[in-house]
Structure 1
Amino acid sequence: MEINRSAACVVTVLCICATSAAQGFCHNDKGSHSNAGFSGQMEGSHHLHCCGNVSYKISESSCCNGNVTLGLSQLVADCCDSVSYNPLNEICCNGSILTRSSTHMKCCGKAMYLTTTHLCCGGDKIFEWKENHSCCGNETYDMTTHCCCTNLNLKVKPYNDTCCPKATDSDKKTKCQQGSLPTCTLPKVSELKCGSEPYNPQEKICCSGNLYKKASALTKCCGKDVYTLSDDNVLCCNGILHLNVPEQSECVGGVIYAPPNTICQMSARPRLGEHCCGGQTFNPRTHICCNGHSHNKTNGNYCCGSEVYDLHNQLLRCCSGHLYNLTRLSGEAECCGNHLLEYNNNQICCSSSTNAIIYDTKPNHRCCGHYYYNTSLWSCCAEHLKPTPKPDSSPAEYRLKPLMDLIPEMCNKTMFFGKVESLALENDQRHVVLKVVWQVNMKSEKVIKDPWLHVSLDHCSSPATESGMTYLWEENHDRKYKLLSHPVDLTSDMQLLYAVCYHKKG
């Protein structure tokens, strides 16, 4: 049986790319990633993609202007010329990557400055912020006593000077001349389109067909609106952007809760009797069909992508359709999306319901969903980043996993599928009303008699939950319940879990 494996070294990858380029695999394709400079196709994070004549995996590396940066996934990176960087913890200023000391940092030439305490004038001059002061070319002035005269080559004049009434801050050209805009060049027309309008992703961001100016790499979409991760008093809740919300507000089940009282804020055709598997027929009594590939059931009766395997073989691990051979029996190996993170203390997996990304470990960094953030810049609550660091905040105790990553180990525990009916937030506790849909109990005869359960979770240190979604839960002692899985499909996942656990018990 052929087992998928990660590339052993960079040399191997380069050799593959040289061969694939000769065979026409890599053609300097321009990708559709919204971040400027990224190239290579984005579809499928586990496949090899092209960066010039070199192939790479977007879940492990990044491609910026034909240059591969290892160890930082393109899914969370941005480009600084030809080098990728993590915009959560770093900033790119005129081709230089600098480490953020605050989420409110912006570029002023090649340096960065704190927007809450300083001004950037002329594109490269930094001044300490003063009330009622603004930029006039390369200097600052008091707007209550002076004005900036554009007809005198940006000279500061007293407010009663004849040139003052001619000054206007509403005109973009004037703002540009006064140095209040970082650049005066018009954006270049890009091949990308937002609806029918072409745009440059380095300058703008497309949110559900609406174009907005991209203030920085932290600019994100919230439905049809745009916001910046470092914005205060802004909250994106279920695709709706809410402004002027109190600090530490939370989105729970589509409802905004605000402290201190957490109040709701509203091939060939087969013959008769034959079964098809890809372009061939097979006998389902003796064989199993996995993504169009037929396998003998003696090799296993569960699919992992196009491979077949025995789910109870502890030396085999299926990670999102990719089958791996473990080098030894150990609980340290875990799936991170379609990759296997095996016995490595220098890497960490950060995952959400949408992505799973491997990062090199760094001091004072933690996972927040699939992001890896600097705790001195950000805080994380229920898998949502906030630009308000909390030194005393407790990290998430665990991360949710796909159901396949939890079995068969979970077969020895009391589990149940619980649908989230409603959510409420009170005193940092997330109260969840669950409807028990189905229970798996191979350990004892104890069953949950009441189909309605009231579960309390520590809001910030527990993974996020959504109303109407069904999850796998574990019942511990004293009626304590732990959230285990990403949202599940009731039909297929219930059948799979029961079949696996029942087979193991038998």
Structure 2
Amino acid sequence: MERNTMTTPLLMFVLLTLPSYSAHGQVNPFGIPVSVHAGKFYGTSPRDHVCGGLNYDVLEYTCCEGVPHNGAGLSCCGNRAFNLTQASCCEGQLTLNVSQLVSDCCGFRAYDPLNQLCCNSRILNRTHPHAKCCGKECYNEDHQLCCGNIVKGRKVLTKMSSHHRCCGDHQFDQQSHCCCSEPLSPEPLNASCCESSSSNLTEIDASSPNCMPGERPCGRGVNPKTEGCCVNPPSFLVQPYSHHPNSAGTRRHNPGVYNGASCGSQVYNPDIKICCAGKLSNRVLGKNLCCGTTPYAVEERRVLCCNQTLHRGVEAGHQCSPGGHLYLPSREMVCESHVHLNDPGKHCCGEETYNPKDEICCNGHKHRRLGNMSCCGGKAYDPSSGQMKCCAETLYNLQVQDRLSEEAQCCGSVLMEAGSTCCSAPGLDLLYPTQSGFTCCGHRYPNSSLWSCCAGVLHPRTERNTTSMNMIPGPRLLPLGDLKTEDLCYTEVLLGTVESVSVNKNKRSIVMVNVMSMQATCGPVNALPAPQYLTLPDHCSSPELVPGNTYLWVKTRHFSDTINVISDLSDHSSPLHSILFRCSKLYIEPC
């Protein structure tokens, strides 16, 4: 039987629930489901900082098969670099504007299986949430049939009734006819071939879930060269693990000996032996501690166990660093795996040391401190200059981009451009070309005529459910850097941690703790009693909220109780400082 390469919606959702990944600039700690094809494109650049035999700066370039490319933390498709939130790689070929995180491959081209199908290497727009392939066409199995076979070709027929099934390239009513096999044709139920051939084909088909209606499993008297048939996978019997003492691979020992003490695969007597990390040693009175595979005594002098390595002859005052290195704090400092002599005023920055008064440390990379410097990933910049924009640890030069700081917005690690839409889920933001009739649902961008969305969850749209679930416009979820100054600094805002979320009659009730209120820029910051309650009027149109995360709630102007914008500040080490620092740059009169 002919097999298409499409991914059905049900299978797609199963695949997308597999473990997710994290890329440079895309922190995804919440298990947001992504395509199973995304994993192999993470961390493809070499870690030794050598590309094509030459050293390169990992903050500026990505190396793909010995070829350096501008841009840090990109993924590789052969010797080409790409951002997997903006493109996909299929068999060494790039497809733009389709993220690898949500795509599947149709030959050399990528497609979005949420809105498209791959039918015999052709990409077709999905016409129904549960549409399937019929040769090089798509069809709706609720109202249509896919008849024919791989030899004569398949064709889509409109179902005459819910009882009609395929018989070759025709359809028949199984209540009044049967499908005779020689030749393959519909015949009345009283025909002689109906008694002998069908034994009810519908029953055969029902027992073969991989068969199309009117087809039989190959090998049941069907010639696959001339008739439509399908191949079912064999059933595998799982042999139970044998506990017989002579079974291969079974560990044999008498649990009654020495109380069953074992060290790895060996049984031992704890009265005369000691087991340390799977290694047996002769027991010595008092040596009852293990450091890796070495036994030692607590009263032993001048010994220190660092990261499962026992050091002997240690001078007084030595300590173990968090990484397990032996050092003397009075004259040494350990930066990751490197030991440095103490230098007054110096601190660790990665494996090196730096002076915080003159330098700034960004993700293990030190830079000269000039003015009001901040970090963006491993780079340093001055956010007050208006010339640079930081998007999820990726720094953009707005002058090179020919953009103004007021109009520059981020979508995850990507700087948005006109004609694009950013769809966000907790920990994942993806950019899509704007299309009429499409709307965001979490990090996906579905065709709203096929799918409805409720709180970031997709639902197939049916004929009985043609109205949108999103009846009331909900608040937007934006990063702090994209909030307008007048929204953030001239209105009332709340800062709090979500403790729990519940839904009652499509209204979302939120319990918050550690809540602070700020009445515009000049107003005081007040700590509010816990718990605080907040209600969003429409659950479906509101963004997904994660209990335990800290959010900024921006109310509409004139101190209304309506929430206009929500910003997730969970990745900010000090959310209140981030807000006050942003507003402190305004040139305002003293209050």
TM bracket (short chain): 0.5 to 0.7
1:93 shift after superposition: 1.4
Matched residues in 1 for 2:485 and 2:362: separation?
Answer: 20
1:154 shift after superposition: 5.1
Matched with 1:269 is 339
Matched residues in 2 for 1:140 and 1:119: separation?
Answer: 8
Q: 1:153 to 1:170 in 2, by over 3 A?
A: farther
Identity, in percent, stands at: 36
Matched with 1:72 is 98
Task: Please say if 1:293 is aligned against 2:365.
Answer: yes
1:460 shift after superposition: 2.8
Matched residues in 2 for 1:297 and 1:439: separation?
Answer: 33
The SS at the match of 1:161 is: helix
Matched with 2:567 is 485
Superposed CA offset, 1:79-99 (max 9, x none): 222222222222221122222
Q: 1:382 to 1:471 in 2, by over 3 A?
A: same
Identify which range, 175-184 or 375-384, moves more after superposition: 175-184
Matched residues in 1 for 2:99 and 2:573: separation?
Answer: 33
The SS at the match of 1:459 is: coil
Task: Please say if 1:161 is aligned against 2:187.
Answer: no
Identify which range, 286-295 or 423-432, moves more after superposition: 423-432
Q: 1:174 to 1:395 in 2, by over 3 A?
A: closer
Q: 1:413 to 1:488 in 2, by over 3 A?
A: farther
Matched residues in 2 for 1:283 and 1:326: separation?
Answer: 30
1:307 shift after superposition: 0.9
Matched residues in 2 for 1:122 and 1:308: separation?
Answer: 64
Matched residues in 2 for 1:348 and 1:490: separation?
Answer: 25
Matched residues in 2 for 1:501 and 1:315: separation?
Answer: 18
Matched with 2:165 is 134
The SS at the match of 1:479 is: coil
Say if 1:413 and 1:443, in contact at 8 Å, map to a contact too.
no
Q: 1:173 to 1:286 in 2, by over 3 A?
A: closer
The SS at the match of 2:446 is: strand
1:471 shift after superposition: 1.4
- Residue type of the partner of 1:337? G
Counting only pairs closer than 5 Å after superposition, residues 28-107 of structure 1 correspond to structure 2 as: 41-43=41-43, 47-107=73-133
Matched residues in 1 for 2:483 and 2:339: separation?
Answer: 39
Q: 1:177 to 1:128 in 2, by over 3 A?
A: closer
Matched with 1:402 is 479
Q: 1:487 to 1:302 in 2, by over 3 A?
A: closer
Q: 1:125 to 1:392 in 2, by over 3 A?
A: same
Matched residues in 2 for 1:300 and 1:72: separation?
Answer: 38
Structure 1 unaligned residues grouped into runs of 5+: 1-32, 188-266
Matched with 1:386 is 459
Matched with 1:325 is 397
Superposed CA offset, 1:38-71 (max 9, x none): 8962459973333344332221112222221122
1:322 shift after superposition: 1.1
Counting only pairs closer than 5 Å after superposition, residues 191-270 of structure 1 correspond to structure 2 as: 268-270=338-340
Superposed CA offset, 1:174-226 (max 9, x none): 94694389983678xxxxxxxxxxxxxxxxxxxxxxxxxxxxxxxxxxxxxxx
- Residue type of the partner of 1:139? H
Counting only pairs closer than 5 Å after superposition, residues 175-190 of structure 1 correspond to structure 2 as: 175=211, 178-179=214-215, 184=230
Counting only pairs closer than 5 Å after superposition, residues 296-445 of structure 1 correspond to structure 2 as: 296-327=368-399, 328-341=403-416, 344-388=417-461, 389-390=466-467, 393=470, 399-406=476-483, 410-441=488-519, 442-445=521-524
Superposed CA offset, 1:120-155 (max 9, x none): 2345232333223333443333333444456x4655
Q: 1:163 to 1:453 in 2, by over 3 A?
A: closer
Say if 1:351 and 1:399, in contact at 8 Å, map to a contact too.
no
- Residue type of the partner of 1:421? E
Q: 1:175 to 1:322 in 2, by over 3 A?
A: closer
Matched residues in 1 for 2:339 and 2:140: separation?
Answer: 68
Superposed CA offset, 1:291-332 (max 9, x none): 111122224332101111223332221101111122354422
Say if 1:471 and 1:488, in contact at 8 Å, map to a contact too.
yes
Q: 1:421 to 1:131 in 2, by over 3 A?
A: same
- Residue type of the partner of 2:537? L
Identify which range, 169-178 or 278-287, moves more after superposition: 169-178
1:113 shift after superposition: 1.1
Q: Which has the larger radius of gyration?
A: 2
- Residue type of the partner of 1:360? P
Matched residues in 2 for 1:471 and 1:419: separation?
Answer: 6
Q: 1:411 to 1:297 in 2, by over 3 A?
A: farther
Identify which range, 287-296 or 348-357, moves more after superposition: 348-357
1:333 shift after superposition: 1.1
Matched residues in 2 for 1:421 and 1:396: separation?
Answer: 24
Matched with 1:210 is none
Q: 1:496 to 1:34 in 2, by over 3 A?
A: closer
Q: 1:483 to 1:457 in 2, by over 3 A?
A: farther
Say if 2:476 and 2:565, in contact at 8 Å, map to a contact too.
no
1:498 shift after superposition: 4.5
Matched with 2:543 is 463
Matched with 1:245 is none
Say if 2:472 and 2:538, in contact at 8 Å, map to a contact too.
no
TM-score (norm 1): 0.66
- Residue type of the partner of 1:481? I
- Residue type of the partner of 1:121? C
Matched residues in 1 for 2:229 and 2:515: separation?
Answer: 57
Matched residues in 2 for 1:166 and 1:387: separation?
Answer: 33
The SS at the match of 1:69 is: strand
Say if 1:136 and 1:178, in contact at 8 Å, map to a contact too.
yes
Say if 1:121 and 1:180, in contact at 8 Å, map to a contact too.
no
Q: 1:469 to 1:55 in 2, by over 3 A?
A: closer
Structural RMSD (CA): 3.6
1:115 shift after superposition: 1.6
The SS at the match of 1:169 is: helix
Q: 1:185 to 1:284 in 2, by over 3 A?
A: farther
